[in-house]
């Protein structure tokens, strides 16, 4: 199980799923997680306002971030604008695992409007169970290096 720094953020559409995931991670997985907001449900909360700080903190602290919006797509696009963030759209359990094994992802983006709480918890559990040392390297490392060239 991943034991490093862990952050979570959402917008208004992912707020309720975020709160459920915080409880799940803290109480059932017995992990610390920092909630980067929002603190209350407000329809005017936009994902960039919370995803960007969560992604930046995960990069700086060499941690991981879970970011949630309505579809997960906006959060994913935004997170990947942060230099050093490699966020994946976690739409199922296998994809969450391969995001680390193939892409060395440090961010997981979820769809607050289309994932059930149970499915989201299963996705997060697998993602946290998959450790960085499971990154397969080889052709995946070669591909990741090509992506990193864009950051220079």
Q: Give catalytic residue positions.
A: 69, 102
For residue 94, how far is the Cα from the chain centroid? Answer: 15
Taking alpha carbons only, the member of 53, 44, 57 closest to residue 15 is 44
Rounded alpha-carbon distances, angstroms, from residue 134 to 5, 51, 128, 131, 148: 18, 26, 12, 6, 20
- The alpha carbon torsion through 74, 75, 78, 84 (nearest 10 deg) reads -150
Task: Map tokens 């864009």 to a residue.
Answer: 150
For 57, counting Cβ atoms within 10 Å of its Cβ (0-12 exposed, 13-18 middle, 19+ buried), the class is: middle
């Amino acid at each position: 199980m991943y034991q490093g720094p862990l952050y979570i953020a959402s917008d208004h559409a992912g707020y309720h799923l975020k709160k459920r995931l915080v409880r799940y991670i803290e109480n059932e997985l017995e992990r610390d997680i920092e909630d980067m907001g929002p603190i209350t449900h407000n329809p005017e909360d936009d994902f960039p306002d919370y995803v960007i700080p969560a992604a930046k903190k995960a990069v700086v602290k060499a941690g991981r971030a879970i970011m949630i919006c309505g579809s997960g797509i906006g959060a994913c696009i935004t997170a990947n604008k942060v230099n050093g963030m490699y966020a994946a759209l976690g739409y199922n359990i296998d994809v969450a695992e391969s995001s680390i094994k193939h892409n060395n992802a440090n961010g997981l983006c979820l769809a607050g409007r289309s994932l059930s709480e149970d499915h989201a918890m299963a996705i997060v559990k697998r993602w946290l169970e998959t450790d960085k040392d499971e990154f397969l390297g080889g052709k995946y490392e070669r591909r990741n290096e090509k992506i990193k060239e864009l950051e220079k």
